[in-house]
Amino acid sequence: MFHGSMVALITPMDASGAVDDRALRDLVEWHIAEGTHAIVAVGTTGESATLTVKEHVAVIRSVVQQVHGRIPVIAGTGANATAEAIELTRAAMEAQADAALLVSPYYNKPTQEGLFQHYSAITDACHFPIILYNVPGRTSGDILPETVARLAKRPNVVGVKEASGKVDRVAEILHLCAIHDASIEVFSGDDGAALAAMAIGARGVISVTANVAPRAMAQMMYAALENDFVLARRINDALVPLHRDLFAESNPIPAKWLLADMQRVGPTIRLPLTPLSESLHVRLRSALQYASSAPLSPAS
């Protein structure tokens, strides 16, 4: 059910700082038209850390309503408090999302046993497809492959977004799951390493780059899923500057600025994040222009 280019969607905001629901729905339509395979609402790139619970749930509902079953919707519902993660995951279930993506608890730095019990409590409370999210650079914690394999034995743990920066993690997770008679899908959480991850068993990418180059990411992932790595590499070569420069400042600062420059959303971003430094404007525009050289077929 979950594969290919899954955009970690930004959350548009108007000049007052409120969520811009119309712009959000327009982005959803653009992604569907461009071939994006799934939408992740209110993840890190969606500024989940600065949305209220009410806003968080409202964004999930809007995305689900606008998608209207055409592609899967994955709701970001992670929190560093297990009870809050359960509350958000239940809200995603009620909104009729297709799955929940739960970042590992940040700041409080649980042990591997704590991580196992955290996710186990969520899966016990919410009979709903769960995707683990490992991003040590954001959380200061690492869900080790052995813990992923333990959790993969739970029937509603269906995937893991692996963003440790270690491509070999994909193969290690799949190997441990196989020898422990468990099943899980692995998704890259690093755009720059996504193609390499696909070559060793990943099923797709939860992507920042797809925010600004959705058709290129979708066609690259489709080519990789079809084992056409010659075409996939050619597309990826055109995307390398975007993969790099979309992290020139903290995500989602560059992606949101570039979408505003493309006149798809307003430029507002919430503190403590700030607008993109002016010195990076030309660099981001150049990276997007270079991406247009990717060998793509017309949008369907």
Show which residues are catalytic: 133, 161
CA distance 241 to 191: 11
Q: Which two tokens stand for residue 218?
A: 């979708």
Residues 276 and 254: beta-carbon distance below 8 Å: yes
Instruction: Catalogue the E-assigned strands of 96-234.
Output: 99-103, 130-134, 157-162, 185-188, 204-207
Element (H, E) at 242: helix 229-245
Residues 6+ apart with CB under 8 A from 58: 19, 21
CA distance 300 to 298: 6
- Geometric angle at alpha carbon 269, from 135 and 16, rounded to 5°: 145
How many residues are there in the chain?
A: 300
Kindly report the backbone phi and psi dihedral angles of residue 222, in degrees, each rounded to the nearest multiple of 5, phi listed first.
Answer: -65, -45
